[in-house]
Amino acid sequence: MNCTFCRIVRGESPAKVYYQDDDVIVFFDRAPLTPIHLLICPKAHYTDFMDAPIEVHQMLVKTVKRVVTELGEKAKDFRIMINNGPRSGQTVFHLHYHIMAGK
């Protein structure tokens, strides 16, 4: 599969990884919109929000909570963004959550 995020998961493309386990990878966005801008992706490929089963979203939300807790005060106030489909602004068609904190 030639998906950008699948290549990151397989270690074929570089990324500044913040956290990963068997199911999830968290890495810094290459074009951050805020001082803290991380992407949370399942390692398994799902095209978008609607493609993934609820269990995958539960896993991603648990990872969001873990990451913002670890980041502490600097990520106390944050937002989560998910683009679904090209008209929403999705440009990489592998499900991912954005965590953005700071200005």
Q: 4: which residues sit within 8 A by CB, 6+ positions away?
A: 13, 92, 94
Count how many Cα atoms sit within 13 Å of the Cα of residue 94 in the half-sphere of its side chain.
19
Residue in 57, 94, 96, 98 annotated catalytic: 96
* Angstrom distance (rounded) from CA 90 to CA 78: 20
Kindly state the helix (H) or strand (E) to which residue 24 belongs, with its residue range: strand 24-28
- d(C-alpha 82, C-alpha 95), whole Å: 8
Active site residue 45: no
Residues identified as active-site: 96
